[in-house]
């Protein structure tokens, strides 16, 4: 399920980012005689990086939701699982406090990963290419 839900936002945002690179930058790269990888890496990737990072964030959100949903479905059918199964089991037993604790844990893990991974990645891109986020 993850394989089908994650790559599409990344691919579409990367494509849109490459399409939105100003023609001036493209012409500058061609004037220097850059072709292939030597054209894509120093010219297109830095210009499209905000869109690529957006695709990564959207892909992460889809991946996290898909993982929890898969645990809800497949963890419940197997009788064991992770956080999704914990939420599902406690919902069936009417332990509302545990359900909300599980949901809060899902939110906290999602925010923590986004904060650690994407904030670090954005800082690195600002430091490397001088881009603002």
Counting the structural domains of the chain, the total is 1
Query: Helices (DSSP H) in the chain: which residue ranges?
Result: 2-5, 7-19, 23-31, 37-39, 45-70, 76-78, 83-92, 96-113, 119-129
Question: Is 92 a residue whose pLDDT tops 80?
Answer: yes
Instruction: Report pLDDT for 67.
Output: 81
Q: What is the pLDDT of residues 93-132, one digit of tens each?
A: 999 999 999 989 988 988 898 888 888 888 877 766 665 5
Q: What is the pTM of this model?
A: 0.73
In terms of C-beta density within 10 A (0-12 exposed, 13-18 middle, 19 or more buried), how is residue 20 classed? exposed
The SS3 of residue 132 is coil
Domain that residue 11 falls in: 2-129
Q: What is the pLDDT of residues 51-79, one digit of tens each?
A: 998 898 899 888 888 887 777 777 656 66
Q: What is the pLDDT of residues 36-48, one digit of tens each?
A: 999 998 889 888 9
Instruction: Report pLDDT for 111.
Output: 87
């Amino acid at each position: 399920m993850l394989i089908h839900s994650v790559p599409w936002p990344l691919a579409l945002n990367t494509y849109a980012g490459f399409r939105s690179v100003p023609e001036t930058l493209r012409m500058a790269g061609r004037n220097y005689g850059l072709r292939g990888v030597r054209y894509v890496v120093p010219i297109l990737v830095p210009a499209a990086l905000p869109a690529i990072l957006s695709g990564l964030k959207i892909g992460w959100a889809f991946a996290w939701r898909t993982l929890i949903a898969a645990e809800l479905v497949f963890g419940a059918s197997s009788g064991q699982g992770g956080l999704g199964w914990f939420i599902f089991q406690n919902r069936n037993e009417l332990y509302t406090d545990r359900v909300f604790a599980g949901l809060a844990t899902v939110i906290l893990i999602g925010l923590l990963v986004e904060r650690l991974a994407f904030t670090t990645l954005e800082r690195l891109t600002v430091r490397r290419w001088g881009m603002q986020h």
